[in-house]
A and B are shown apart, each in its own frame.
Chain A
């Protein structure tokens, strides 16, 4: 059975180019960049080159890149930096929104316990933060605003450029979690005007366990890990050279092919949305157009998402869901609840996230499989029976 991988928002296949670039650093070139000898200096050169590549891809100076152990670490570090810089000036208020990744939301919980005040802005029915809400929420003591560039579940692209401008009019730092955006849509830190930006290598065909924080020159970044002078004292620990080289190679490959990939993936996405929308009592989550090229997220009334995923997996199709059973808690996805899906419906969600490796055949296979499984699960669902018999009203028309 062929595997159809449509869970690229979770993680992606490592690119062959990235793997090839990594191999020397996992074999013969094992040096520590901090060592003065030749073996070490070869590693230092690789690190220097990777940093330069990353900077070119993001339109920044290499000194503005801090390599981290992933996107979550970069998010944690960005929030700590914003909080600590604010606190020095007596500013202890942070603004974010309700559909952020937990790397942001949980970090904010921690900061709240440390005496910071957090305002989480609502989103509209498509998951969009209103820049005017940001403007209204900013107070004299606001230290930081953190709004994601693209949502990981429903793909909504946030108006980060407008929000960054509003922040700077008011002397407030702006961070964006761009983990889902980098390598998938154009990301230019100068154009966005952000002070900090987080990214993760494995979301664009790089390796896992490596990410980066862009921090504008002049910003005093707080370190999460103490112990050495690596990353100019902002992230101790011997650098993951193979990972960093792999990430930089993957990013360059993604950026070099961005236009072609976006056109291809958007076409696949649109066909998938069209094909799945024929299922009765289904609804697309997130905007129709202003969304990540590879993101499709839908709710199907009367069924539960985990059983849908398991049956798709039986057919070789890898996807994800925002149901409680897959979120590991009693509640379904906080993102789906925030855009107004009620619990009953949010349990029946399906996220398919595509990449340039997907084919038209993959999409047609998904379009064939999903309605069959939804139909099967509805036939054994008492909720669906009640809906059909009028004992319960449809939420999705």
Chain B
């Protein structure tokens, strides 16, 4: 099989699908031209904990599974911990992804970061821009 059982589980039964009205942070990464877009919505408590998270994804099986897994990994965690989520951790939690699908996990990491950055920006919270450097290398995405 192309994908692990874990990937298929998160693809066919994705967790945290949907949107959040008046979300505290929204992050969208990817490009329809490349064939994948991820959007993550965060509800964040006054003390900086991710109370709720939802996602919507246009993309292949591994893109949907990566988004689902990433949302599960950050739910209930402080924002600072969500920022430490790496694509590698997502891949490991999914019991691996095929080599040419690793970029899906990179998108998931970036979607989480973009949502947190949006939350920081909206609330005037200072941050180190280095934390939000682009890791995704797709020829279409820069367009």
Answer whether residue A382 sits at the interface, using C-beta atoms and an 8 A cutoff: yes
Answer whether residue A330 sits at the interface, using C-beta atoms and an 8 A cutoff: yes
C-alpha spacing A332/B59, complex, angstroms: 13
Q: How many A-B residue pairs have CB under 8 A?
A: 69
Pick from B56, B59, B100: contact of A304, CB under 8 Å:
B59
Q: Are A330 and B32 in contact (CB under 8 A)?
A: no
Which residues of B lie under 8 Å from residue A314 when comparing CB positions? 12
Q: Are A307 and B59 in contact (CB under 8 A)?
A: yes
* A 114-136 binary contact with B (CB < 8 Å = 1; else 0): 00000000000000000000000
Which residues of A lie under 8 Å from residue B3 when comparing CB positions? 310
C-alpha spacing A172/B32, complex, angstroms: 43
Which residues of A lie under 8 Å from residue B138 when comparing CB positions? 330
C-alpha spacing A342/B34, complex, angstroms: 11
C-alpha spacing A253/B61, complex, angstroms: 40
C-alpha spacing A382/B114, complex, angstroms: 15
- Chain A residue nearest to B19 in the complex (CB): A385
Answer whether residue A325 sits at the interface, using C-beta atoms and an 8 A cutoff: yes
Answer whether residue B24 sits at the interface, using C-beta atoms and an 8 A cutoff: no
Interface stretch of the complex, out of B35-43, B45-53, B81-89, B124-132: B35-43
Q: Are A324 and B37 in contact (CB under 8 A)?
A: no
Known: A307-B64, A330-B140. A382 touches B57 (CB 8 A): yes
24 inter-chain pairs at a CB distance below 8 angstroms, sorted by A residue, are A304-B58, A304-B60, A307-B11, A307-B60, A307-B63, A310-B3, A310-B8, A310-B11, A310-B61, A314-B12, A323-B35, A324-B35, A325-B59, A343-B32, A343-B33, A343-B140, A347-B32, A380-B64, A382-B28, A382-B56, A382-B58, A383-B32, A383-B37, A384-B58
**A-B interface, 8 closest residue pairs, ranked by CB to CB distance from nearest:** A306-B60, A344-B32, A325-B60, A347-B35, A382-B39, A343-B33, A381-B58, A383-B58
Known: A304-B35, A311-B12, A383-B32. 13 other contacts (CB 8 A): A304-B59, A307-B59, A307-B64, A310-B8, A314-B12, A323-B35, A325-B35, A332-B35, A343-B32, A344-B32, A347-B32, A382-B39, A385-B19
